[in-house]
Amino acid sequence: MTNRLAVILGLIIVGAVAADYAVYGNEHLLFLARKFFDLLQWVAFWR
């Protein structure tokens, strides 16, 4: 992955999070963060 592609992908992710926050508020982000940490723990278990 090139630096340019990484920056573009990062900006897309940040834009999507900002749009979600603007439309729905922070409840969805908290839910997604909790699920993401659960996923990280599950993946770490299988490592």
For residue range 3-30, what is the model confidence (pLDDT) as tens digits? 999 999 999 999 998 998 898 888 888 8
Predicted confidence at residue 20, as pLDDT, reads 87
Predicted confidence at residue 13, as pLDDT, reads 92
Q: Could you tell me if 21 and 29 are in contact, meaning their C-beta atoms sit under 8 angstroms apart?
A: yes
In 1-47, where do the E strands start and end?
A: none
- Max intra-chain CA distance, the chain: 37
CA–CA separation, 12 vs 16, rounded Å? 6
**Mean pLDDT confidence for 34-44:** 91
Predicted confidence at residue 14, as pLDDT, reads 94
pTM of the model: 0.63
Predicted confidence at residue 45, as pLDDT, reads 75
